[in-house]
Amino acid sequence: MIDLKEISFAYPHGPKVLKDVSFRIEHGDCVCLLGPNGTGKTTLIKCLLGFQKPASGSILIDGRNLGDFTARERASHIAYVSQSSDIAFPYTVSEVIEMGRISHMRLGASLSEKDEAAVGHAMERLEITGMKDRFFQTLSGGERQMVLFARALAQEADYLILDEPTAALDYSNQIRILRMIHSLRDSGLGILMTTHFPDHAFLTGTKAVLMRDGVVMEEGDPRTVVTGENLTKLYKTTVCVADTDLTDHGTKRKQRVCVPLLETSDGPYDQPHDAVRNTKA
């Protein structure tokens, strides 16, 4: 597991950005990290990746302190998908995904058959093999995000850190990525995903962490943590969490959803914040 124990962090001459943050990412987990902008989610990711050193606390990967890992060792354990990439050189899609194999290769070595198979498999899983020879800079924002996700899959790490992985994607590709996350979680990977969509915690999450102003407000099972009352406190806006009865090709199922309550021409909603209602769709 990745075990974060009372992590605190502050930039020079600034206030604390993280304040005693603690939670775990175990194999088979998808931990959804929810919180408003500026709450410290990106800083926490930088600490997890070894880019920033916490002022106090510890990060353990399978019982070993993160600070004891070399960069290559960290890359063999943790893969990362950012919101965007500033790749400046004219690399092809294949070449960008091949970069995910660097931690498995000796310095100066060429790709092995195993490396090439991992790259090909990653492209096939995301159905982007057809654009392998296109230059990365010519892709749309959504296409670039799919390539970065494929690079992380090719890395074959034990843990996957995803920073708003669906932010730049159209609706169909968002669904594809969420299905992929669900599949990777079920295959045993440990996943940490930041997202601005609380519904993702119900769709893919095994745990939810609610963080505001660098402090973990709530942590645990999404169905008990992601409530209307907690989301309203987290985002400072009224949110209702509702159970819906859905019919999909004749099969009935329940789905929990998050709905913001907006002011209307008739005035603001005055429903209880933590209400759970049954609706049919």
Taking the domains of the chain in order of start, what are their residue ranges? Answer: 2-88+152-222, 227-281
Amino acid identity, residue 163?
D
CB 9 within 8 A of CB 54: yes
Q: How many CB atoms lie within 10 A of CB 228?
A: 23
Q: What are phi and psi of 197, to 5 degrees?
A: -115, 100
79/23 Cα distance (integer angstroms): 19
Q: Which helix (H) or strand (E) holds 273?
A: none
pTM of the model: 0.85
Bridge partners for 79 per DSSP: 160
Q: What is the CATH number of domain 2-88+152-222?
A: 3.40.50.300
Bridge partners for 219 per DSSP: 209
CB 182 within 8 A of CB 6: no
Distance of CA 165 to the CA centre of its chain: 6
173/156 Cα distance (integer angstroms): 22
Mind listing the pLDDT tens digit for each residue in 200-217?
999 999 999 999 999 999
pLDDT of 181 over the 60 cut: yes
Going by pLDDT thresholds of 50, 70 and 90, the confidence category of residue 272 is very low
Mind listing the pLDDT tens digit for each residue in 60-99?
999 999 989 998 889 889 999 987 776 778 899 999 999 9
Mind listing the pLDDT tens digit for each residue in 18-67?
999 999 999 999 999 999 999 999 999 999 999 999 999 999 999 999 98
The DSSP 8-state label assigned to residue 84 in this structure reads -
